[in-house]
């Protein structure tokens, strides 16, 4: 049995790959600094149940018989595992390169890209194909709520048939590596880098795709061209896949597609766009729109994507991965559509993100919330001592300048919890938003317990 190692084992991009490689018969080892300091214990346990040997991140798992070390782009050269691998002459492989190898080994590769919605759409495609007996392989950054967690993290489906669907990341430009049978672009909006770079990345991705599915609902979509184009839209009836008669209910959405009415058991109009994207992709594999849409009526969503954690005393708590302006706006509008006051907490994940999108984030928050709604921002999650030029307080100030005075800065989760307990009332919806910080799901559950 060949031994391979993964550094950053807890990561959303690394964890499905580890589990896939176990399924392929490899002896898989993993390390993560968060495990070493006692964090993410649930993920550690889940990965161990999946058959992964979890080791300290001190280089000890790298031995002469290690075939290669796989890392994400976020792992630096001073990481002990990389140092050990370099010393022993063991290849260091980036996550995106292993993902490319896996995608390329299937006859029909599907790569899902976009600055919002790609995790949910990847999950939807994988779910549709699985329900309809197509035996897909799916490699995703988010865990499907439909599947059990007793044998690992359900952010993958493993089969060795003809179809593989992956979530393709644009944040580091690696989306340009893939040459899929079907490429999907859900949207292009301000996120990890400049809009100029994003359009460059997605243009290359489009050129590399044999078939392209794209939304008509984001600005400048016409910049992306392709000879084999399939389109979807919530706004343009001329799109190949168009939904109308959309009705937003408390826990579901009904919509009409090709003169048939369907129900999606999620909230947020944006999830109809996600469903159309998934249905459009499946159509390129010969699956009828009716069959795909009908399958999605059983789709329960993705963990941390506007995930309902529970309700008590008519107070509902959600946990959401929203971390850029378009995602934050979509989630807030989805929650507003059901009525009730919102108490929202957003924690920017990096100083770069806060600098790059802070002004736009403040503007969308101010225009999305009603005067009675409350906005809380905790300090930036990955802030370094030298980052003295930026703080979440700066974004709070901009929110107030944009006309929403009910905005407050919080120094810690404890302060946020105390603030929410003091101000929450029956009928409120509480949403905890942010990326990278895996403890936000536990924090959401802690809030739910405290307001009981």
Q: Which residue has the higher pLDDT, 371 or 151?
A: 371
Domain membership of residue 33 (yes or no) is: yes
Query: How far is C-alpha 374 from the geometric centre of its chain's CA atoms?
Result: 25
pLDDT averaged over every residue in the chain? 95
User: Is residue 281 scored above 70 in pLDDT?
Assistant: yes
pLDDT at 411 over 80: yes
Residue 270 shares a structural domain with residue 316? no
Instruction: Let me know whether 173 and 244 are in one domain.
Output: yes
Q: Assign 385 a pLDDT band (cuts: 50, 70, 90).
A: confident
Domain-terminating residue out of 94, 119, 145: 94
75, 215: one domain? no
For residue 40, pLDDT beyond 80: yes
Give the separation between CA 34 and CA 85, rounded to whole angstroms: 20
Mean pLDDT of 180-186: 98
Same domain, 118 and 90: no
CATH code for the domain of 326: 3.90.190.20
- Distance set, CA 2 to CA 22, 45, 288, 434 (Å): 10, 23, 41, 37
Query: Is a pLDDT exceeding 80 seen at residue 155?
Result: yes
Number of domains in the chain: 3
Position 451 pLDDT exceeds 70: yes
Using the predicted structure, report yes or no on whether residue 6 has a pLDDT greater than 90: yes
Q: End of a domain among 94, 122, 141?
A: 94
* CATH number of the domain where residue 38 is located: 3.40.50.720
Task: Assess whether 273 and 371 both reside in one domain.
Answer: no
- Whether 375 is in a domain gets the answer yes
Q: Which residues pair with 29 in a beta bridge?
A: 5, 53
Does residue 142 sit in the same domain as residue 256?
A: yes
Report yes or no on 301 lying in a domain: no
Residue 302 lies in a domain: no
Looking at residue 426, what DSSP letter applies?
A: T
The domain containing residue 210 runs over which residues?
106-296
384 plus 289 within the same structural domain: no
Specify if 19 maps to a domain. Answer: yes
Same domain, 244 and 323: no
Q: How far apart are CA 219 and CA 253, in angstroms?
A: 25
Residue where a domain stops, chosen among 67, 94, 121: 94
Is residue 363 located within the same domain as residue 234? no
Residue 50 CB partners (closer than 8 Å, separation 6+): 18, 19, 22, 151, 152, 153
Residues 258 and 208 in one domain: yes
Among 327, 301, 332, 316, smallest CA distance to 407 is for: 332
Which CATH number does the domain housing residue 141 bear?
3.40.1190.10
In a domain, 118, yes or no: yes
- For helices 270-283 and 118-131, angle between their N-to-C axes, nearest 10 degrees: 50
Q: How confident is the model at residue 181 (pLDDT cuts 50, 70, 90)?
A: very high
More confident site: 123 or 353: 123
Give the span between the Cα atoms of 44 and 53, in whole angstroms: 10
Q: Could you read off the pLDDT of 241-272 as tens digits, one per residue?
A: 999 999 998 889 999 999 999 999 999 999 99
Asked, for residue 265, whether it belongs to a domain, the answer is yes
- Are residue 52 and residue 138 in the same domain, yes or no? no
Looking at residue 277, its pLDDT comes to: 98
Four-residue CA torsion sign, 145, 205, 190, 242: negative
Q: Is 324 within the bounds of a domain?
A: yes
pLDDT at 73 over 70: yes
Altogether, the residues listed in the chain come to a count of 452
Same domain, 290 and 426: no
Residue 193's pLDDT is what? 72
């Amino acid at each position: 049995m060949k031994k391979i190692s993964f550094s950053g084992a807890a990561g959303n991009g690394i964890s499905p790959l580890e589990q896939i490689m176990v399924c392929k018969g490899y002896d898989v080892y993993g390390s993560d600094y968060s495990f070493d300091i006692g964090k993410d214990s649930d993920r550690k346990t889940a990965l161990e149940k999946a058959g992964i040997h979890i080791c300290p991140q001190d280089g000890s798992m790298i031995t002469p018989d290690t075939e290669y070390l796989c890392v994400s782009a976020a792992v630096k050269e001073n990481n002990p595992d990389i140092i050990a691998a370099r010393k022993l002459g063991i290849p260091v492989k980036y996550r995106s390169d292993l993902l490319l190898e896996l995608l390329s080994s299937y006859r029909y590769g599907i790569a899902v890209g976009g600055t919002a919605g790609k995790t949910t759409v990847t999950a939807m495609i994988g779910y549709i194909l699985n329900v309809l007996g197509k035996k897909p392989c799916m490699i995703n950054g988010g865990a499907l709520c439909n599947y059990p967690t007793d044998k690992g993290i359900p952010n993958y489906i493993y089969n060795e048939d003809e179809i593989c669907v992956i979530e393709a990341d644009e944040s580091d430009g690696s989306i340009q590596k893939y040459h899929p049978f079907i490429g999907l672009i859900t949207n292009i909006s301000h996120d990890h880098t400049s809009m100029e770079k994003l359009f460059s990345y997605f243009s290359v991705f489009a050129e590399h795709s044999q078939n392209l599915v794209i939304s008509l609902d984001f600005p400048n979509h016409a910049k992306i061209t392709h000879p084999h184009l399939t389109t979807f839209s919530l706004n343009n009836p001329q799109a190949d896949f168009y939904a109308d008669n959309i009705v937003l209910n408390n826990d579901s959405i009904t919509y009409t597609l090709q003169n048939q009415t369907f129900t999606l058991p999620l909230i947020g109009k944006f999830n109809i766009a996600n469903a159309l994207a998934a249905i459009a992709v499946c159509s390129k594999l010969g699956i009828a729109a009716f069959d795909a849409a009908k399958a999605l009526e059983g789709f329960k969503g993705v963990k941390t994507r506007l995930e309902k954690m529970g309700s008590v005393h008519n107070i509902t708590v959600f946990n959401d991965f929203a971390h850029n302006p378009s995602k934050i706006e979509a989630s807030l509008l989805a929650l507003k559509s059901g009525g009730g006051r919102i108490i929202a907490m957003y924690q920017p994940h990096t100083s770069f993100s806060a600098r790059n999108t802070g002004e736009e984030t403040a503007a969308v928050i101010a225009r999305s919330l009603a005067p009675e709604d409350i906005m809380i921002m905790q300090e930036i999650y990955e802030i370094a001592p030298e980052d003295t030029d930026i703080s979440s307080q700066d974004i709070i100030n901009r929110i107030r300048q944009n006309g929403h005075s009910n905005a407050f800065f919080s120094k810690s989760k404890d302060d946020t919890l105390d603030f929410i307990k003091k101000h929450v009332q029956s009928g409120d919806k509480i949403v905890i938003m942010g990326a990278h910080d895996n403890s936000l799901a536990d924090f959401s559950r802690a809030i739910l317990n405290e307001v009981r």
